[in-house]
Amino acid sequence: MKKLLVLLKDYKKESVLAPLFKMLEASFELIVPLVVTAIIDVGIARRDSGYILRMCLVMVALGLIGLACSVTAQYFAAKAAAGFGTRLRHWLFAHIQELSFTEIDQMGTSTLITRMTSDINQVQSAVNMVLRLFLRSPFIVFGAMVMAFTIDVKAALVFVVTIPLLSLVVFGIMAISIPLYRKVQERLDKVLGITRENLTGVRVIRAFHKEEEEKSRFEESLESLTFMQNHVGKISAFLNPVTYAIINGATIMLLYTGALQVDSGILTQGEVVALVNYMSQILVELVKLANLIVLITKAVACGNRVESVLEIESSMPKDARGGRQEEGGGALQGKREEAAAEAIAEGGRQNPKVQFSQVGLSYQGAGAESLSDISFSVEKGETVGIIGGTGAGKTSLVHLIPRFYDVTRGEVLVDGINVKEYPIEELRRKVGIVMQRAVLFQGTIRENLCWGKPDATEEELYQALETAQAREVVEGKEGKLEAYVEQGGKNFSGGQRQRLTIARALARKPEILILDDSASALDYATDARLRKAIREMEGSPTVFIVSQRTSSIQHADKIIVLDDGEIAGMGTHGQLLASCEVYREIYESQYKKQ
């Protein structure tokens, strides 16, 4: 949590002024009982209405000044807290963007979303409340006791006994309830997890007619949460009656002591009223302080969760991410870029466009390798088909080219240079990839297509759409390129989304194009036209097509057959039918055996 508080360094002024103005407000609040004393002892005792009116105006002035101080403190506290929360969100988001797929897989998307939203909101609220109340409440508690001693030492001894007793009750109940509140939060997380799972999988639940089972599961989880909340609520419910009993007992003692002192002429009636007012202020502030500490405890837990994400280091070296090199890293990067340029310019024809050399890949925490001893080379302009059973490692293989994951052994070369030697931005400018899941972002079709090339002209966009067989999709929409795209592209069919995501990758005119089972929703005729258009593209990109259909890859220059993470066969369609049993089984399962 301490690591996060450095973000307040740019809000030093606000962090000082917010509690300062709150202390000023508290000071004026402590003066009010003395004004009430004067009204009773002087104004009412002497029946001086003019004095009473003047003192009432003083009270109003104190209230207005206190209000101004409170609003000012709130302004500075909110400014510091909101700025802190904004910077923390930016920091966390930027850090997550730097993580490789390995770390994101390890953390989980839902966890990262929770930590970026509710956890940071909790920390932000705590910063706001601490700046406003953390000094104010103790100041009023001890200030009220000091003011009581200035009125009468004997009566103030009641405060000396009452404050520790109140503190013991308030903080004792809090010490018992805080661990229980953590359990409540855990059970609430479970309820939220079930809710999220049901909302995202509602179609599957209805398809299998599992509504009643899911309702039962949800109710069971909710009952567990309700039981724990009731248990904590019963303990917390003791706070008000016990504290009020103590305060009322102390008030009775004050009135009793005060009555004796008044009868003896030591105290006045107004001073007794002031002592009672100070006792009430102490009760209110102790309850506020207890609630604040509960909030701080929750915020520290949330802050530690956020900090744990920030402490995760990417498995990709920093000097390969561009712009964050250590001293001398810029020169090193420049040398690498020059070497890459020379390799492409002078040895481009000698070096394969993509080369895998004894590549092995193990996912973090996995017991065995997902890819083993993968070796092949692809020349510029070639089309490579990759096929295999479910879980054979097809997607894992193509994800190594743009370096979404790092190989655990061997090396992957692009233009004769290890992908680890490239700055990430430069490597990924060379590669256009269309994932298995077609993802479109909220906005317009033009904005989605320009992700690949922000400065793309309309002619270039339509050329990419033509190649991706998506031109009719755009022209069939009102507004064409300016047509609205809902979040996730929900206003497009599966095939339309796939074609638009292919067009987005083609718009940047990549040197290497990877289609990761991205035409599965297309009919055979559209799929064939798409492959023909890609072969005829200007610049002759090197194309990798991952597919479950042999029809999609049978005309490829080279087909790689994967089986349990290893290459089971490599060659053309005809060669593999004759020599590779795995490929032949896949082919014959899709076509009648002749």
Contacts 24+ apart (CB under 8 A), 212-219: 218/191, 218/194
Q: Are 262 and 269 in contact (CB under 8 A)?
A: yes
Q: Which residues contact 278 (CB under 8 A, 6 or more apart)?
A: 30, 33, 144, 145, 147, 148, 159
Distance CA 461, CA 445 (A): 10
In one-letter notation, the amino acid at residue 270 is G
Tokens of 504: 């987005």
Q: Which residues contact 256 (CB under 8 A, 6 or more apart)?
A: none
Helices H / strands E in the chain, number of each = 23, 12
| Residue of 134, 114, 133, 176 lying closest to 302 (CA atoms) | 114
Q: Are 562 and 568 in contact (CB under 8 A)?
A: yes
- CA angle in degrees (0–180, nearest 5) for 497-499-501: 70
Q: Are 534 and 504 in contact (CB under 8 A)?
A: no
Distance CA 425, CA 447 (A): 20
3-state secondary structure of 324: coil
Distance CA 7, CA 94 (A): 15
Helix/strand/coil percentages in the chain, nearest 5: 70, 10, 20
3-state secondary structure of 361: strand
The one-digit pLDDT tens for each residue of the chain (594 residues) are 677 887 888 888 888 899 899 989 888 888 888 888 888 888 888 888 888 899 899 989 998 998 999 999 999 999 999 999 999 999 989 888 888 777 777 777 767 887 888 888 888 998 998 888 888 888 888 888 888 888 888 888 888 888 888 888 877 877 887 778 777 777 877 887 788 788 888 889 999 998 999 999 999 989 998 998 888 888 877 777 887 788 888 888 888 888 888 888 788 888 888 888 888 888 788 778 777 877 877 788 778 878 888 888 877 755 444 434 444 444 445 555 555 555 545 545 567 889 899 898 888 776 678 888 889 999 888 889 999 888 888 888 999 998 888 888 889 998 888 888 888 888 888 888 888 788 888 888 888 888 878 888 888 888 888 888 888 888 888 888 888 888 888 888 888 888 888 888 888 888 898 988 877 777 788 888 888 888 888 778 899 988 888 888 888 889 999 988 888 889 888 888 888 888 888 888 877 654
| Residue of 579, 575, 520, 578 lying closest to 551 (CA atoms) | 520
Q: Are 386 and 562 in contact (CB under 8 A)?
A: yes
Q: Which residues contact 300 (CB under 8 A, 6 or more apart)?
A: 1, 126
Q: Which helix (H) or strand (E) holds 569?
A: strand 566-571
Residues forming beta bridges with residue 354, ordered by sequence position: 378, 414
Distance CA 181, CA 225 (A): 11
Tokens of 468: 């991706």
Distance CA 545, CA 586 (A): 16
Distance CA 131, CA 295 (A): 13
In one-letter notation, the amino acid at residue 129 is M
Residues forming beta bridges with residue 516, ordered by sequence position: 546
Query: How would you list the strands of the sheet with 566-571, edge to edge?
Result: 431-434, 512-516, 542-546, 383-388, 558-563, 566-571
Cβ-based neighbour number of residue 373 at 10 Å: 14
pLDDT given at position 72: 93
> What separation in angstroms does the CA of 589 have from each of 517, 564, 586?
18, 19, 5
Distance CA 428, CA 18 (A): 47
- CA angle in degrees (0–180, nearest 5) for 294-300-301: 95
pLDDT given at position 522: 79
Distance CA 142, CA 23 (A): 12
Backbone φ/ψ region at 479: left (φ over 0), alpha (ψ -120 to 50), beta = left
pLDDT given at position 57: 93
Cβ-based neighbour number of residue 87 at 10 Å: 16
What letter does residue 455 receive in the DSSP assignment?
T
| φ and ψ of 516, to 5 deg | -90, 85
pLDDT given at position 321: 42
| φ and ψ of 134, to 5 deg | -65, -35
Distance CA 65, CA 56 (A): 14
3-state secondary structure of 410: strand
Alpha helices (H) along 208-311 = 211-237, 239-264, 269-310
> What separation in angstroms does the CA of 563 have from each of 189, 362, 405, 428, 435?
40, 16, 20, 28, 21
| Residue of 486, 398, 489, 385 lying closest to 438 (CA atoms) | 489
Q: Are 479 and 446 in contact (CB under 8 A)?
A: no
Distance CA 11, CA 18 (A): 11
Distance CA 266, CA 378 (A): 102
Domains within the chain, CATH numbers bracketed: 9-310 (1.20.1560.10), 346-590 (3.40.50.300)
pLDDT given at position 592: 63
